[in-house]
């Protein structure tokens, strides 16, 4: 029997609610499959720990999870701690040292979900956004001097390396090649940012030479927002920088119906370190503790986790269960206009898994 060790880090806000739901669904999935087991280790890292101890995770935290097969992460952020502290203290403190440089965000309109775009249903919108996740605008290079004085200066330097751009570009071309349409759009802003972004364009062309079977094109990020909303069917796989893809994937999540549905994988493709799977959404303090958080983003992230573990049949089964549940409006949480609770949606997904006899 195959066995996998998963580190569960619920974090803050609704993170605790959706990760509990995700663990339940993954356990149901393993039971239904019968060929593998999942062993969960739970870590109470996050803002509550920071308030008590001054650190979001223990000093040897990464060593504690380095040997796990995957990480299931909830969200990080509370209203009374500055966002950049939480982000760098927990999420990026895992992503960066574990070299999870490929952030992968699939977007589809699931059955039963209505897109805010008129006349757009399932088949017209089926994308995967690949976000460079280790450098670029979020490299963390910069500083502040003369704090509080009128002459204060603050800089954030975007850092693009040939190695970093080449590896994400290869990843994106490989992913595009693996999808039926074999279509990749490379997003930059190389008209205004004439150094790093021009290098992106050049490296894209170099890497493309090795993928003659992949059709690719280039878009400026501003024009890309229009193409996503006006001609979504012309897109398939998309690759963009850390900042650009961050913004575009929130737009993508909204176009697919709700932030509560969208999943993410932070991949270390070489598998030197564990990869991390999380819903796109944040801590959603406005709905915390009400039991109405949509767990679908976490379920879909769990599908990606199973694919990464090398359990494609279980992954496909979980995705079928999720789609069966989203197809029923009576099982929609309030963010989708329904009245269902997190617990009801989770129970329905577990029941659909058990009933799936494919």
Tell me which of 68, 131, 167, 281 binds ligand ATP, using CB under 6 A.
281
Tell me which of 100, 241, 266, 283 binds ligand ATP, using CB under 6 A.
283
**CB neighbour list of residue 156: distance below 8 Å, 6 or more residues apart:** 137, 141, 142
296-305 CB burial, b ≥16 within 10 A, e <16: bbbbbbbbbb
Tell me which of 93, 186, 276, 284 binds ligand ATP, using CB under 6 A.
284
Contact 196, 158 (CB under 8 A): yes
Contact 323, 284 (CB under 8 A): no
Q: Cβ-closest residue to ligand ATP?
A: 282
Query: By CB under 6 A, is residue 75 in contact with ligand ATP?
Result: yes
- Pick 190 or 266: Cβ nearer ligand ATP: 266
Least distance (Å) from ligand ATP to the CB of residue 251?
Answer: 13
Q: Which of residues 292-311 bind ligand ATP (CB under 6 A)?
A: 293-294, 297
Query: By CB under 6 A, is residue 259 in contact with ligand ATP?
Result: yes
- Pick 156 or 201: Cβ nearer ligand ATP: 156
Tell me which of 10, 260, 263, 274 binds ligand ATP, using CB under 6 A.
260
Query: By CB under 6 A, is residue 77 in contact with ligand ATP?
Result: yes
Tokens linked to 288: 């915390």
Query: By CB under 6 A, is residue 335 in contact with ligand ATP?
Result: yes
Least distance (Å) from ligand ATP to the CB of residue 266?
Answer: 15
Tell me which of 150, 286, 357, 358 binds ligand ATP, using CB under 6 A.
286
Contact 125, 114 (CB under 8 A): no
- Number of neighbouring beta carbons within 10 Å of residue 119: 6
Query: CA 237, CA 45: separation in Å to the nearest integer?
Result: 34
Contact 74, 15 (CB under 8 A): yes
Query: By CB under 6 A, is residue 11 in contact with ligand ATP?
Result: no
CA angle 308–185–124, rounded 5-degree value: 80
Find the length of the chain. Answer: 358
Query: CA 26, CA 70: separation in Å to the nearest integer?
Result: 13
* Signed CA dihedral, 66, 70, 74, 75: sign only: positive
Binding segment for ligand ATP (CB under 6 A), chosen from 152-160, 176-184, 264-272, 286-294, is: 286-294
Binding segment for ligand ATP (CB under 6 A), chosen from 99-107, 128-136, 137-145, 281-289, is: 281-289
Q: By CB under 6 A, name the binding residues for ligand ATP.
A: 14, 18, 75, 77, 83, 259-260, 281-284, 286-287, 293-294, 297, 333, 335
């Amino acid at each position: 029997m195959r066995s996998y060790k998963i580190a569960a880090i619920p974090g803050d806000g609704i993170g605790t609610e959706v990760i509990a739901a995700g663990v339940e669904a993954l356990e149901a999935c393993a039971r239904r499959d019968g060929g593998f087991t999942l062993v969960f280790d739970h870590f109470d890292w996050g803002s509550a720990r920071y308030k008590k101890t001054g650190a979001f995770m223990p000093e040897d935290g990464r060593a504690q999870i380095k040997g796990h097969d995957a990480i299931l992460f909830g969200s990080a952020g509370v209203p009374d701690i500055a966002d950049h502290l939480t982000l760098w203290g927990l999420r990026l403190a895992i992503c960066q040292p574990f070299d999870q440089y490929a952030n992968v965000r699939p977007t589809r309109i699931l059955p039963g979900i209505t897109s805010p775009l008129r006349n757009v249903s399932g088949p017209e919108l089926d994308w995967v956004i690949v976000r460079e996740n280790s450098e670029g605008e979020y490299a963390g290079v910069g500083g502040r001097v003369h704090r509080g004085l009128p002459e204060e200066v603050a800089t954030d330097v975007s850092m693009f390396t040939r190695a970093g751009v080449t590896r994400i570009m290869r990843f994106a071309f490989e992913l595009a090649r693996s999808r039926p349409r074999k279509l990749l759009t490379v997003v930059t802003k190389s008209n205004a940012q004439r150094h790093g972004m021009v290098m992106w364009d050049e490296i894209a062309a170099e890497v493309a030479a090795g993928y003659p079977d992949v059709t690719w094109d280039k878009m400026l990020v501003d024009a890309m927002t229009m193409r996503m909303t006006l001609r979504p069917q012309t897109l398939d796989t998309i690759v963009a920088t850390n900042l650009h893809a961050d913004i575009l994937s929130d737009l993508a999540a909204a176009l697919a119906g709700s932030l509560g549905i969208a999943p993410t994988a932070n991949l270390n493709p070489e598998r030197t370190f564990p990869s991390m799977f999380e819903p796109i959404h944040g801590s959603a303090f406005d709905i915390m503790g009400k039991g109405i958080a949509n767990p679908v983003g976490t379920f879909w992230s769990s599908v990606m986790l199973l694919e990464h573990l090398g359990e494609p049949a279980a992954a496909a089964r979980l995705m079928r269960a999720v789609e069966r549940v989203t197809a029923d409006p009576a099982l929609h949480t309030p963010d989708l206009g329904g009245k269902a609770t997190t617990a009801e949606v989770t129970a329905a997904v577990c029941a659909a898994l058990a009933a799936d006899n494919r």
